[in-house]
Amino acid sequence: MITKTRLFWTTLVLALVSSGALAALPTSVGGQAVTSLAPLVEAAAPAVVNIRVTQVRRNPFGRPGEVGGAGSGVIVDAKNGYILTNHHVVGEADEIQVSLIDGRTLDAEIVGSDAGTDIALIKVEADDLTEMPIGDSEDVRVGDFVIAIGNPYGLTHTVTSGIVSALGRTNISRDGFEDFIQTDASINPGNSGGALVNMSGELIGINSMIFSRSGGNVGIGFAVPTSIASSIMGQILDFGEIRRGLLGVNIQSIDREAAETLDIDVEGGALITRVFPESAAEKAGLEVGDIIVGVNDKKVTSAAELRNTIGLLRSGDKIDISYLRDNKSRSTSAELGRAEDQLMSGADIHPGLAGASFAPSSTSSDSGVEVTNVEEGSPAAQRGLRSGDVITAVNRVLVRNLRDLAAIAENNRILFLLVQRGDRSLMLQIR
């Protein structure tokens, strides 16, 4: 089971892992003999904060009540009070409080949040903050020593050590855009939003998830690399929102068996099944039946891999695409469009729509929202949505485009979708 951790603060605890099953301490850092990680911890820990959130919910009888949660965050800009954390820690919070290692408690506000990458940026007003320098996660290698700092089970500023176990982990969550760092540094409930730190004291990842059957640490944790976190933070600060790149195609995976059936000489890739009008793909000359096998010299072996690669880029980014047409290798370049203009993930709209993707109706740009894909077993599938459905109204309000759908869903926990399916209409309830 993949569990998004809920984090807490407390005392400084340094867990030095020395058994054969886990990572031993490095013998030197920067040419200096290492006898303790204490100097590193003392420098890094003040930049990690405890986050407590309060959310107002209504019970089945309609009465409002408060629920609380907790997590961690990392101060990355002391002057402006900016703190990186996870979307799942603060994304639905009505009130946020941040506690510092010096005992201060501050009110915080959300600057921006992105469910797709599970990254959020919050802000506090305070002097004398300590920030953590952001390292380049592209330089991280499997086997590098790391420490994780967070607040597991309410034990504030707990520190654990380990190594980078793997890089580029994907398919961890259903709807996210992923390129996780995997680590065996102990991460438990309460560590979410905390820091994964290299031996230079630099932030290289935001701890986000654990793999566990019991809910506790089993040596498999995942952190969002700073390459992604920094990009999301930059978009929030530059635009006030996330401007995720979009190629503008529907795709499906091609594996070796499918390739043999189609008599195509390729081991894997993403088969284009639809090209949206005026999209980046159409402008780049891509066609239905083309198989994308690479983006920016990075191999693409599946539809999920292509979706992930494009989704982690900004709108306006220029990319090089390698593809097959009629069994011949070709290449083109494209300038990515904006996902919010042409395609949206159901997880970004409402939890009950997770697993579905939505686009403007293919019959008209102003006549509803089309369900372009529904993943088997997803929340959207369980609630009755099917690929090809067209949503024409929500809660008796006309839906003309994606922005209408997102705006209505933002303010309503329960959605009643009026759906056109072929020649008949039906109503679906989404919770």
- Torsion angle (degrees, nearest 10) of CA 194, 353, 361, 332: 40
Fold of 1-240: Thrombin, subunit H (2.40.10)
Domain boundaries, the chain: 1-240, 245-339, 344-430
Which of 87, 88, 157, 350 is catalytic? The answer is: 88
- Give 215's Cβ-side CA count (13 Å radius): 6
At position 87, the amino acid (one-letter code) is H
Decide if pLDDT at 98 tops 90: yes
pLDDT per position as a tens digit, 297-316: 888 988 878 888 888 888 89
- Pairwise pLDDT comparison (255 vs 100), residue with the higher score: 100
Which among 320, 365, 318 has a CA at the least distance from the CA of 337? 318
Decide if pLDDT at 20 tops 50: no
Which among 364, 370, 344 has a CA at the least distance from the CA of 355? 344
CA 421 – CA 379 distance, rounded (Å): 19
Which among 187, 198, 181 has a CA at the least distance from the CA of 26? 198
| pLDDT score of 302 | 85
Paired tokens of 125: 């007003």
- Contact 381/373 with Cβ under 8 angstroms? no
Confidence of residue 335 (pLDDT cuts 50, 70, 90): very high
Confidence of residue 18 (pLDDT cuts 50, 70, 90): very low
Q: What is the mean pLDDT of residues 247-260?
A: 85
CA distances from 231 to 94, 111, 224, 239, 419 (A): 25, 14, 11, 12, 36
- Contact 181/198 with Cβ under 8 angstroms? no
Active site residue 350: no
Confidence of residue 185 (pLDDT cuts 50, 70, 90): confident
pLDDT per position as a tens digit, 40-81: 898 999 999 999 998 876 555 556 666 778 889 999 999 999
283 SS3 class: helix
| pLDDT score of 91 | 82
Sheet strands (E) in 81-211: 82-85, 95-99, 105-114, 119-124, 145-150, 158-169, 180-183, 195-198, 203-211
- Contact 13/133 with Cβ under 8 angstroms? no
Which of 192, 227, 230, 378 is catalytic? The answer is: 192
At position 96, the amino acid (one-letter code) is I
Handedness of CA 377, 380, 385, 388 (dihedral sign): negative
Cα 231 to the chain's mean position, in Å? 12
Decide if pLDDT at 293 tops 80: yes
Which among 191, 179, 180 has a CA at the least distance from the CA of 216? 191
Which one of 197-201, 345-349, 376-380 scores highest in mean pLDDT? Answer: 197-201
| pLDDT score of 173 | 66
- Pairwise pLDDT comparison (7 vs 67), residue with the higher score: 67
- In the chain, % of residues over pLDDT 90: 37
Confidence of residue 11 (pLDDT cuts 50, 70, 90): very low
* Common-topology check for domains 245-339 and 344-430: yes
Fold of 344-430: Pdz3 Domain (2.30.42)
What's 37's DSSP letter? S
Q: What is the mean pLDDT of residues 161-184?
A: 81
At position 318, the amino acid (one-letter code) is K
21 SS3 class: coil
DSSP β-ladder status, 424-430 and 28-29: unpaired
Decide if pLDDT at 176 tops 80: no
Decide if pLDDT at 178 tops 90: no
Q: What is the mean pLDDT of residues 150-155?
A: 80
| pLDDT score of 336 | 92
Decide if pLDDT at 183 tops 60: yes
Active site residue 88: yes
Longest dimension (CA), the chain: 74
| pLDDT score of 308 | 80
- Contact 5/188 with Cβ under 8 angstroms? yes
pLDDT per position as a tens digit, 362-399: 554 446 888 877 887 889 989 999 888 889 999 999 88
| pLDDT score of 241 | 83
Q: What is the mean pLDDT of residues 110-116?
A: 88
CA 19 – CA 285 distance, rounded (Å): 56
167 SS3 class: strand
Which of 72, 99, 118, 322 is catalytic? The answer is: 118
Average predicted confidence (pLDDT) for the chain:
82
pLDDT per position as a tens digit, 127-150: 999 999 999 998 999 999 999 998
Decide if pLDDT at 324 tops 90: yes
Collect contacts of 414-420 with beta carbons under 8 A, ≥24 apart: 415/350, 415/352, 417/385, 417/391, 417/393, 418/391, 418/392, 418/393, 418/394, 419/385, 419/389, 419/390, 419/391, 419/392, 420/368, 420/389, 420/390, 420/391, 420/392
Q: What is the CATH number of domain 245-339?
A: 2.30.42.10
- Pairwise pLDDT comparison (25 vs 323), residue with the higher score: 323
> φ and ψ at 317, to 5 degrees?
-65, 140
Decide if pLDDT at 111 tops 70: yes
